[in-house]
Amino acid sequence: MRKNEGGSSSDKQCFFARRPQLALLDCAMVLFARCLEAPISSDFAPLALADGSFAAGLRLESALSLLKQAGRHLPDGPVVGSQEWLQSVVDGLCDISSRDALTGLSNRRQFEAAIGREVDRVARMGEPALLLVVDIDHFKKVNDTYGHAAGDLVIQSVAATLLDCVRPMDTVARIGGEEFAIILPNCPPAFGQTVAERIRQKVDALPVVVIGGQVLSVTISIGGAFAPQWVRSSSAFWCERADQQLYRAKAGGRNRTCLETPPQTEVSAEEKNMLFSGFGQFDAIADSCSEDHLPKTSE
């Protein structure tokens, strides 16, 4: 190992003890640079940290270039190299790492995190949630006939339409070449088919103008499945069930929606008595769960 020009190994070991006022982020950056023992290049000045120390060897040219390419502009207020400025760089990198570069939608990484949270929420709270898997019909033919640039325009147009059809609380992600996924929290089974069909019809009515002025008609197939309520399931199983419905839509001729029929939930009088017997303070809740008030879903 090359001798550390900044001090002995004992200096490294007591670094935190000598500088307890450094913030955690500052310590991590300085320690990382010292462990690498990276020299400061002649064309790169060290970044000044909030307490006046320097993050020697910290290189951000690639990160800043990536942010610029993605159209992310850093705030003008913070001093370059300050902790606030560095935090804005980190936030920008986190954002673009979770976005699909072509459409701006959530990418697969962000989708997997979102569906994992939704599975956990449905298991804890019992609220209904719908997962839709969307695939552009005959997309390979578009690429083969009009070129990949036209294919990109089709993907972008469909992505914008999907985003326009959902609520702010919903998650729309591009999870494959021409495949998308939509997570709809708190979507009752009674409305699932209506929501999916509205999305399909809106894309069907969308003319896509590609290079050369050619107007293409685009259709999509949609498969959907509801997350099992009050059950600790897995996101992979939920996705698999939605995929099965997408295969049904494809096999049925495309340009259609197929949703899995959710299980019918009913509570018998005997089960109701077992649930609420001995809990007088819940009489009002028990009354509200009478057979006349139980939600039923159609087959």
The residues near 244 (Cβ < 8 Å, ≥ 6 apart) are 223, 225, 260
Give the residue numbers annotated as catalytic, written as ranges.
178
CA distance 109 to 173: 9
Question: What does each C-alpha distance from 101 to 69, 108, 173, 291 come to in angstroms?
Answer: 10, 12, 12, 51
The residues near 253 (Cβ < 8 Å, ≥ 6 apart) are none
Q: How many CA atoms lie within 13 A of 227 on its CB side?
A: 31
Residue given tokens 């298991």 in the structure block:
123
CA distance 106 to 294: 37
Of 51, 8, 2, which is closest to residue 29 (Cα–Cα)?
A: 51
State residue 137 phi and psi, 5-degree precision. -75, 140
**Residue 37 gets which letter from DSSP?**
T
CA distance 93 to 195: 34
Residue 19, both tokens: 């500088």
**Residue 105 gets which letter from DSSP?**
S
